[in-house]
Amino acid sequence: MSKKPLILVTNDDGINAPGIRALISVMNSIGDVVVVAPESPQSGMGHAITLNSTLYSTEVDFEKGPQKEFSCSGTPADCVKLAIRELLGRTPDLCVSGINHGSNASINVIYSGTMSAAIEAGIEGIPAIGFSLLDYNWEANFEASKPFVKSITEQVLKHGLPNGIVLNVNIPNLLEKDIKGIKVCRQAKANWVEEFDKRKTPQGRDYYWLTGKFVNLDGGEDTDEWALENKYVTIVPTQFDLTAHHFIKDLNSWDFK
């Protein structure tokens, strides 16, 4: 039996995305790799799961390598669930998701399929990391990301993560020599100011395209947005417990009938 860690690789851009190919190449230098990823892009799916349609998985061979690969008809969260329950044969030592084409910093973590896959693994007690590069281009160059991905992954395997915590890692779109280092940060307070571009079909039916502008409302210099703007790779420890613990005492003082 191999003494290498078993690493589950997934993403939300689809199994043939350049980002996941880059991530696979790094993970092959660290452990035994099994890939379970969506057969088509699933960006912005958040933590959606498939309930009302059939879920399919097919073993594939996109490129030569030691890794074993499966495409899945479902969402990123589906991929992790299916991998753990049906495809791997044992619990993985680590789950890595990405490398996403585009930022998952700040509020983007809520919508991210990349991070939802990592969070799904975290729910199962598996150490997990979501990696993102700040370049939405399909032809993005991931070479500068690889040393940081490897270093962070090795540290997680060495130290582990507390139960309920996963790491959200974002990498600026720069040459490796221009990246200043790694900063552990908090999530910036920011949001999308959204609009809908309303149009009509030739038949006269209204339809909409979602558009918007990202607005950083946080002036702190300890945030992921600040660090990315200042040429740092960011790590935000992220939890899936959404309880506002600080408000429980106040809420208990209300006069509920």
pLDDT in tens, 62-81: 888 889 999 999 999 999 99
Q: Domain ranges in the chain?
A: 6-188+221-252
Q: Record the pTM.
A: 0.92
Q: Return the H-helix or E-strand segment holding 48.
A: none
User: Which pair of structure tokens corresponds to residue 116?
Assistant: 């939802």
CATH architecture of the domain with residue range 6-188+221-252: 3-Layer(aba) Sandwich (3.40)
Percentage of the chain beyond pLDDT 70 is 99
Confidence of residue 2 (pLDDT cuts 50, 70, 90): low
Peptide bond into 84 cis (omega under 30): no
pLDDT in tens, 182-231: 999 999 998 888 888 899 999 999 999 888 888 888 888 999 999 999 99
pLDDT in tens, 154-169: 999 999 999 999 999 9
**SS3 sequence of 162-176:** CCCEEEEEEECCCCH
